Structure 1
Amino acid sequence: MPSSRVTDFFRITSLDEMPDALKGGVVAIGNFDGVHRGHQAVLNTALETGRNQDIPVYAMSFEPHPRSFFNPSNPVFRLTPSVQKAAVMKACGLDGIVELPFTKDFASIEAEQFVKNILLDKLAIHHAVTGFDFHFGKARAGTPDYLRNAGAEHQFGVTIVEQETDEGANDISSSRIRACLEEGDITLANGLLGYRWFFEAEVRHGDKRGRDLGYPTANLQMAENCPLKHGVYTVRVTTPDGFVFGGVASYGRRPMFDHGAPMFEVFLFDFTGDLYGQTLRVNVISYLRGEETFDSVDALIAQMDRDSNEAKTVLGSLQPLSELDLALFPPN
């Protein structure tokens, strides 16, 4: 029998675009913000199910995040916005991701309609995999038990994956990882993710002060609701042409100078060139110290020298956290 394995990665933003290559497959359903180790347990279950039957495996998620939709004045900080989430899904080995627009009309869909109109009519699923806490449909009526019963009625498989915990038996969750970023605990955040957290942003013009200090930086604007603790970080940066550079970065308001809006300023080791207007992928490796004010510019430069040396030491002993980490950030 010929294989039905998909060779391309599909990113679908409308059910009307659903390719035949993904229909009849295994779908992992959830918000998947961060695609952390708990999410990976769901994805790996879906992958194992699909590969055993030689059928496509893909994820379904929702944009914007439902919590942001229902509370727009206090949107959820996205660990992995849409594009980054798709990149992690691809690195996990999935064949695609379907990102359903989360609108007022979508939020009002009854659970039965979700199953019949979307899972069956549009996707023609063979099997669904979700986490233990996934709910769907109007008023969250679609519980895991509801999905199991729907699967039995309509003859598609259903697997519910239980809560994933860390080595200390604590729950792994996106909210816990956000709290880690806020505390500057990058080591724990990355451990819970199973790969080193990253973000993407375009290089903007700044005041060029770094050049005068001997540390020209690429200035990156973070999301307004980014909880990342202000301070100095070891980073690894991938340029649009695929080259990877180690570096040191400062995130904060520059208390020595203008105390302005938060900016992520990256100094790349062994790099010369112009990055303005380019989108960088910044892999956050470790937290070095908090944001400080110094007595003089010379004292600041001396500390920056120490920061750079410490970051180089960290990068010199860096090892991938997992196969996923290596797939996302291969060495040059």
Structure 2
Amino acid sequence: MRIIRHWDERAARVGAVVALGNFDGVHRGHRAVIETAARIARSLRAPAGVLTFEPHPRQLFRPGDPPFRLTPFRIKARLMEEMGLDVLYALPFDRAFSRLPADTFVADVLVGGFGVRHVVAGADFAFGHDRGGSMALLAERGAALGFGVTMAEPVSIDGAVVSSSRIRRLLADGRPADAARLLGRPWEIEGRVEPGRRLGRTIGFPTANIALGECLRPAVGVYAVEARLDEPGAAVWKGVANFGRRPTIDGTSLWLEVHLFDWSGDLYGRHLRVALREYLRGERKFDGLAALTAQIAEDAAHARALLAAPAATI
């Protein structure tokens, strides 16, 4: 999959069928839009692609918001490549681009820059300055400028439309298994393993420590997890993780600390993917290391039992 970051690159004009959207989460609703584009691309014998924006527009317009992204760009690109796409247009979203009128976006970017043959988006897709462009405008301009337009139907689960905001709420409420049903896969936190205080190894539970960066903060507490190194052919390891401030040792910053069952080796500096499978309990302060160690042992046993059970169908 090629990644193209500017609409005026010569290589950008490939006549693709393009799914339009931010696609934060690449959840089941997003996948329906992308799969519709891929299906049309096959019928037209055209490349299949996605057009998205980096950073997420919300980061430009609401910079003071807490971290909210379900899928930083690295994860989003990998998920889309796994879907078999030919091209990913990741356009820089800045003040100048945000002021582009909707008609100009269609004429200069979609047609002049990319030479699209067909575009697909959800019913609520809006674009251009002040979100002035709608699916109705896109269909009108497509008819005039010679490209097709398809509106993908929303995907509903449990009587409600699948959305990134709904998934964020579930993760904030400590419901990763429910979030996974909407995503179509467990939600993952990724990051470099960084040195910590090395306390875990002294009490028999060494941990890999990961800072979350721009990623959404899930509910603080302890989770049963599955993890793998972001390396070809990496095995999946089961474990238990704490996301929080570590109040027993007077911690202040939020970290994800992951203890992998039966792992031995050095993880420092390596990129680890951690899937949250089940929420076990909230974080709390203990009366010393002995009480903390006993609780971690109990959490680890609980996580082993949960992860040994057959996985629920997502």
Same fold (TM over 0.5): yes
Alignment match of 1:99 (pick from 90, 103, 126)? 90
Alignment match of 1:186 (pick from 154, 173, 176)? 176
Structure 2 residue 81 is the aligned partner of structure 1 residue 90? yes
Alignment match of 1:26 (pick from 8, 14, 17)? 17
Instruction: Report Cα offsets for 1:112-154 as digits up to 9, x if no partner.
Output: 1111111111111110000111111112121110000111111
Alignment match of 1:252 (pick from 239, 244, 267)? 244
Structure 2 residue 297 is the aligned partner of structure 1 residue 305? yes
Structure 2 residue 200 is the aligned partner of structure 1 residue 210? yes
Superposed displacement of residue 286, structure 1: 1.3
Contact 2:193 2:268 in 1 (8 A): yes
User: TM-score, with normalisation over the residues of structure 2?
Assistant: 0.94
CA distance in 2, matches of 1:321, 1:97: 30
User: SS at the partner of 1:39?
Assistant: helix
What's the counterpart of residue 276 of structure 1? 268
User: SS at the partner of 1:273?
Assistant: coil
What's the counterpart of residue 7 of structure 2? 15
User: SS at the partner of 2:247?
Assistant: coil
Distance 1:18-1:72 versus aligned 2 partners, 3 A rule: farther
Structure 2 residue 154 is the aligned partner of structure 1 residue 163? yes
Contact 1:65 1:76 in 2 (8 A): no
Alignment match of 2:229 (pick from 232, 239, 244)? 239
User: SS at the partner of 1:302?
Assistant: helix
Instruction: Report Cα offsets for 1:92-130 as digits up to 9, x if no partner.
Output: 222231111111111111111111111111111110000
User: SS at the partner of 2:258?
Assistant: strand
Alignment match of 1:223 (pick from 192, 213, 219)? 213
Query: RMSD between aligned alpha carbons?
Result: 1.8
- State the one-letter code of the partner of 2:268: Y
CA distance in 1, matches of 2:265, 2:307: 22
Structure 2 residue 140 is the aligned partner of structure 1 residue 134? no
CA distance in 1, matches of 2:196, 2:67: 28
Superposed displacement of residue 44, structure 1: 1.3
Contact 2:71 2:215 in 1 (8 A): no
CA distance in 2, matches of 1:293, 1:262: 15
Structure 2 residue 64 is the aligned partner of structure 1 residue 73? yes
CA distance in 1, matches of 2:9, 2:148: 24
CA distance in 1, matches of 2:17, 2:66: 30
CA distance in 1, matches of 2:185, 2:109: 32
Deviates more, 1:28-37 or 1:309-318: 309-318
Contact 1:107 1:137 in 2 (8 A): yes
Superposed displacement of residue 237, structure 1: 1.3
Contact 2:189 2:215 in 1 (8 A): no
User: SS at the partner of 2:275?
Assistant: strand
What's the counterpart of residue 101 of structure 2? 110
CA distance in 2, matches of 1:184, 1:126: 43
- The count of aligned residue pairs is 312
Deviates more, 1:245-254 or 1:75-84: 75-84
Contact 1:30 1:61 in 2 (8 A): yes
- Structure 2: state its 5+ residue gaps: none
Alignment match of 1:150 (pick from 137, 141, 165)? 141
Contact 2:67 2:217 in 1 (8 A): no
Superposed displacement of residue 73, structure 1: 1.8
User: SS at the partner of 2:182?
Assistant: helix
User: SS at the partner of 1:274?
Assistant: coil
CA distance in 1, matches of 2:216, 2:277: 17
Contact 1:34 1:174 in 2 (8 A): yes
Superposed displacement of residue 86, structure 1: 0.7
What's the counterpart of residue 330 of structure 1? none
Deviates more, 1:288-297 or 1:106-115: 288-297
Runs of 4+ in 1 over 4 A off after TM superposition: none
Deviates more, 1:278-287 or 1:88-97: 88-97
Structure 2 residue 39 is the aligned partner of structure 1 residue 48? yes
CA distance in 1, matches of 2:47, 2:301: 47
Distance 1:225-1:47 versus aligned 2 partners, 3 A rule: closer
Structure 2 residue 302 is the aligned partner of structure 1 residue 289? no
Superposed displacement of residue 16, structure 1: 4.2
